Chain A
Amino acid sequence: MRKVFKIIMILFLLSVIIFACKKDFLEVEPLGEFSENAVWSDPNLVETFVNSMYSNNFGNPFGNRKLSDFCDESRSSWSTTYNWNKGLMSSDGLQEWTEGFGAQATAALTWEPLYATVRMENIFFSRISEVPATSPADEEKIARLKGEVYFNRALTYHLLVSLYGGVPIITEVYGLDADFSAARNTYEECINFIVGQLDSAIIFLPPSLATELQGHATSGAAMALKSRVLLHAASDLHSPSKNESVAAGFAAPELLGYTEDDQTARWQAAKTAAKAVIDLNLYSLTKENPSPTDNIAQNFINYFTSYGDPEDILLQFTVPAMIAYAQWGAVQSEPNGYNCWGNQTPLQELVDDYQMNDGTDFDWNNPIHKSSPFENREPRFYATVLYEGKKYRKRPPEYAAIDPFDKLQTGRVFSTGGNLLVGGIDTRDGPTNTANGGYTGYYNRKATDTTLDAQFERQDIPFRQFRYAEILLNYAEACIELGEDAEAKTYINKIRHRAGLPDLSSSLSGNELKEAYRRERRVELVYENSRFWDIRRWLIASDVFKQTHSIDIRYVAPDGTTTYRKEDGSDWSVPTYTVIETSGDLRIWDNKYYFLPILRTEINKNNKLVQNPGY
Chain B
Amino acid sequence: MHLYALFLPPKSALTKTLRVMKLTAICLLLFCLHLSARTVSQTITLSGKNLQLSQILDSIERQTKYIAFYDEDVIANSRPVTITAVRQPLVDFLNEVLSGQLLTFAIKNTSIIISRKEAVLSPRSITAPAITFPITEIPTITIMGKIVNEKGEPVEGVSIVVRGKSNGTSTNASGEFSLKDVDENASLEVSYIGYASQIIRVNNRTTIDIVLSLALKLEDDIVVVGYGTQKKATLTGSVVSTSGAEVLKSPATNLSNTLVGRLPGLIGFTRSGEPGNDATTLMIRGSNTLGDNSPLIVVDGIAGRDFSRLNPADIENISVLKDASAAIYGARAANGVILVTTKRGKTGKPRISATHNTGFQRPTVIPEMADAATYASMLNEIAFYNNESLGMFQRFSEEDIQKYRDRSDPWGHPNTNWFKEVLKPWSLQHYDNVSISGGTDNVKYFLSVGARSQDGVYRNSGTKYKEYNVRSNIDAKINKYISVALDLAGSQEDKDFAVTDVFSIWRSTFRGKPNTPAFWPNGTPGPSFLEFGDQPVVTSTKANGYRLDKWFKLQTNGRINVIIPWISGLTLQGNISVDKAFNNVKEFHKPWYLYNWDGNSDHITVPGKVGIVAPTLTQSTNEALQITMNSYLSYDHTFNGVHNVRAQAGVEKQTIDTAFVTARRENFLSPAVDQLFAGAADEFMTNNGSALHSSRLSYFGRLGYDFSNKYLLEFTWRYDGSYIFPKAKRFGFFPGVAGAWRVSKEKFWQENIRGIDEFKLRASWGQTGNDRITPFQYLSTYGFSGNYIYNVDDQVNNLVELRVPNPNVTWEVANQSNVAMEMGFLNNRLAVTLEYFYNVRSQILWIRNASIPASGGLRLPPENIGKVNNKGWEAIVEYRGSLGQFKYNAFLSGSYQKNKIVFWDETPGVPEYQKSTGRPMGSQLHYVSLGIFSDQGAVDKYPHWPGARPGDVIYQDVNGDNEINGLDQVRNTKSDQPTFTGSFSLNLQYKQFDLSLLVQGASGSQKYITIEGGESGNYYKLWADNRWTSENTRTSYARTWDQTVPYWDNTRNSYWLYSSDYVRLKNVEIGYTLPLGLSKRIRIDGMRVYLSALNLFTVSELTKKKMMDPESLDNYAYPLNKVLNVGLTLNF
Whether the pair A35, B653 counts as a contact (CB closer than 8 A) is no
One of A6, A78, A123, A397 near B608 (C-beta < 8 A): A397
A433: chain B residues at CB < 8 Å are: 527-531
Given known A21-B653, A170-B855, contact A10–B482 (CB-CB < 8 A)? yes
Report chain B residues within 8 Å CB of A455: 533, 610
Question: Is B574 engaged at the interface, CB distance under 8 Å to the other chain?
Answer: yes
What's the tally of chain B residues with a CB closer than 8 Å to chain A?
128
A457 to B591, CA, bound (A): 13
A116 sits at the interface (CB 8 A):
yes
Q: For residue A576, which residues in chain B have a CB less than 8 angstroms away from its CB?
A: none
B675-732 with Cβ < 8 A to chain A: 683-684, 686, 690-697, 721-723, 727, 730
Docked complex Cα distance between A609 and B683 (Å):
48
B 898-913 contacts with A by CB, 8 A: 907-910
A360 to chain B, nearest CB (A): 32
In the complex, whether B479 has a CB less than 8 A from a CB of chain A is yes
CA distance A420 to B383 in the complex (A): 16
Which of B486-494, B579-587, B775-783 is near enough to bind chain A? B775-783
- Contact between chains at B599 and A18 (CB < 8 Å): no
In the docked arrangement, what's the CA distance between A229 and B510, Å? 48
Q: What is the 8 Å Cβ interface bit string for chain B, positions 1049-1071, against chain A (1 contact, 0 not)?
A: 01100000000000000000000
Cross-interface CB contact of A30 among B607, B629, B779, B797, cutoff 8 Å = B779
Chain A, 91-124, CB within 8 A of any chain B CB = 91-93, 95, 99-100, 111-112, 115-120, 122-123
A93 touching B1015 by the CB < 8 A rule? Answer: no
B1047 located at the interface, meaning its Cβ lies under 8 Å from any Cβ of chain A in the complex: yes
Query: Which residue from B574, B630, B858 sits with its C-beta under 8 Å from A119?
Result: B858
Is A120 a contact of B801 with CB atoms below 8 Å? yes
Distance in Å: Cβ of A113 to nearest Cβ of chain B: 9
B476 adjacent to chain A (CB < 8 Å): no
Q: What is the CA–CA distance of A420 and B601 in the complex, to the nearest angstrom?
A: 18
Contact B1043 A36, beta carbon cutoff 8 Å: no
The chain A residue sitting closest to B793, CB to CB, is A319
With known contacts A178-B856, A317-B789, A584-B386, A26–B562 Cβ distance under 8 A: no
> Is A181 part of the contact surface with B, judged by Cβ < 8 Å?
yes
Q: Is the CB of B790 within 8 A of A563?
A: no
Cα A216 to Cα B788 in complex, Å, equals 11
Closest chain-B Cβ to A555's Cβ sits at a distance in Å of 15
- With beta carbons under 8 angstroms apart, the residue of B600, B858, B1043 that contacts A79 is B1043
Contact among A14, A117, A122, A402 for B560, CB-based, below 8 A: A14
Closest to A452 in B: B613
Residues of A within 8 A of B776 (CB): 30, 33
Whether, in the assembled complex, B13 has its beta carbon less than 8 Å from a beta carbon of chain A, the answer is no
B859 at interface (Cβ–Cβ under 8 A)?
Answer: yes
- The CA of A599 and the CA of B243, in the complex, are separated in Å by 55
Pairwise interchain contact B856-A119, C-beta atoms closer than 8 A:
yes
Shortest A24–chain B CB gap in Å is: 9
Interface centre among A28, A35, A55, A111 (most CB of B within 10 A): A28
A-B contact pairs, 26 of them (CB 8 A): A6-B479, A14-B631, A17-B631, A19-B651, A28-B694, A48-B796, A49-B800, A83-B1045, A88-B1047, A99-B1050, A119-B856, A120-B800, A180-B856, A214-B790, A215-B790, A398-B594, A402-B596, A422-B599, A428-B1015, A431-B527, A431-B599, A432-B529, A436-B531, A562-B599, A583-B387, A602-B853
**Which single member of A3, A39, A100, A214 contacts B799 (CB below 8 Å)?**
A39
Nearest CB of B to A324, in Å: 9
Q: Is the CB of A52 within 8 A of B852?
A: no
Does B990 touch A at the CB level, under 8 Å? Answer: no
Interchain CB contact (< 8 A) of A456 among B612, B730, B775, B908: B612
| Contact A396 to B608, CB < 8 A, known contacts A55-B788, A401-B598, A422-B599 | yes
Q: How far is the CB of B510 from chain A (nearest CB, A)?
A: 13
Query: In the assembly, what is the distance between CA of A598 and CA of B240, in Å?
Result: 53
- CB <8 Å contact, B683 and A398: no
Residues 466-484 of chain B, each 1 if its beta carbon lies under 8 Å from chain A, else 0: 0000000000000111100
B516, B721, B791, B947: the one contacting A214 at CB < 8 Å is B791
A600-B966 in contact (CB<8A):
yes
Q: Which chain A residues numbered 16 to 63 have a C-beta less than 8 Å away from chain B? A: 17-19, 21, 25-36, 38-39, 45, 48-49, 51-52, 54-55
* Other contacts beyond A7-B481, A600-B966: 15, CB < 8 A: A10-B482, A11-B562, A25-B653, A38-B782, A55-B787, A79-B1044, A80-B1045, A167-B855, A170-B856, A212-B794, A432-B528, A583-B383, A602-B855, A604-B907, A604-B908
Alpha-carbon distance A87/B652, docked complex (angstroms): 62
Is A341 in contact with chain B by the CB < 8 A criterion?
yes
Give the contacting residue for B601; candidates A216, A562, A607; CB below 8 A: A562
Q: Smallest Cβ distance from A589 to chain B, in angstroms? A: 12
**B786, closest chain A residue (CB):** A55
**B397, B730, B858, B1044: the one within 8 Å of A419 (CB):** B397
Contact A3 B480 (CB under 8 A): yes
Q: How far is B857's CA from A607's CA once the two chains are assembled, in angstroms? A: 17
- Is B99 on the interface with A (CB-CB < 8 A)? no
B854 within 8 A of A: yes
Residues of B within 8 A of A (CB): 382-383, 386-387, 395, 397, 399, 479-482, 511, 513, 516, 527-531, 533, 560, 562, 564-565, 572, 574, 576, 591, 594-601, 606-614, 629-631, 651-653, 683-684, 686, 690-697, 721-723, 727, 730, 775-776, 779-802, 804, 806, 850-861, 863, 907-910, 945-947, 965-966, 969, 1015-1017, 1042-1045, 1047, 1050-1051
Q: Report how far A116 CA is from B936 CA in the complex, Å.
A: 46
Q: How far is the CB of B663 from chain A (nearest CB, A)?
A: 14
Is A36 in contact with B780, judged by CB distance below 8 angstroms?
A: yes
A322 within 8 A of B: yes
From the candidates B794, B855, B1016, name the one contacting A435 in the complex (CB within 8 A). B1016
Contact (Cβ within 8 A) B609 A398:
yes
CA distance A209 to B791 in the complex (A): 11
| Nearest chain B residue, comparing its CB with the CB of A33 | B781
List chain A residues, Cβ under 8 A from B789: 215, 316-319
Q: Which of B686, B791, B1044 contacts A215 (CB 8 A)?
A: B791
- Within the complex, what minimum Cβ distance (angstroms) separates B629 from chain A? 6
Provide the residues of chain A in CB contact with B631, threshold 8 Å.
14-15, 17-18
Q: Is the CB of B857 within 8 A of A117?
A: yes
> Which chain A residue lies CB-closest to B666?
A321
Query: Which single member of B482, B684, B857, B1051 contacts A174 (CB below 8 Å)?
Result: B857
Residues on B with beta carbons closer than 8 Å to the beta carbon of A422: 599
User: Which residues of B lie under 8 Å from residue A3 when comparing CB positions?
Assistant: 479-481
Residues in B neighbouring A365, C-beta threshold 8 A? none
Residues on the A chain within 8 Å of B859, using CB: 116
Residues of the B chain whose Cβ atoms lie less than 8 Å from the Cβ of A51: 787-788, 796-799
Alpha-carbon gap, A15 to B727, bound state (A): 25
Complex: chain A residue closest to B1016, CB-CB: A435
Contact residue among A174, A435, A584 (Cβ-Cβ distance under 8 Å from B858) = A174
4 closest A-B pairs by CB: A398-B608, A92-B966, A119-B857, A456-B613
Contacts of B910 in A (CB 8 A): 604
CA distance A604 to B915 in the complex (A): 13
Contacts of B480 in A (CB 8 A): 3
Contacts of B806 in A (CB 8 A): 176
Contacts of A542 in B (CB 8 A): none
List A contacts of B591 (CB < 8 A).
456
Is A465 part of the contact surface with B, judged by Cβ < 8 Å?
no
Check if A601 is an interface residue, CB within 8 A of chain B: yes
Q: In the complex the two chains form, is B653's CB within 8 Å of A88's CB?
A: no
Contact A14 B775, CB 8 Å, known A45-B799, A51-B788: no
A25 CB, min distance to chain B CBs, angstroms = 6
Complex alpha-carbon distance, A385 and B795, angstroms:
31
Cβ–Cβ contact A91 & B608, under 8 A: no
* Chain B residues in 8 Å Cβ range of A399: 596, 608
The docked-state distance in angstroms from the alpha carbon of A175 to that of B786 is 25
Q: Which residues of A contact B572 (CB under 8 A)?
A: 11, 14
CB closest residue in chain A, given B596: A398
Q: Which residues of A contact B793 (CB under 8 A)?
A: 317, 319-321, 460
From B565, B629, B908, contact of A605 by CB (8 A): B908
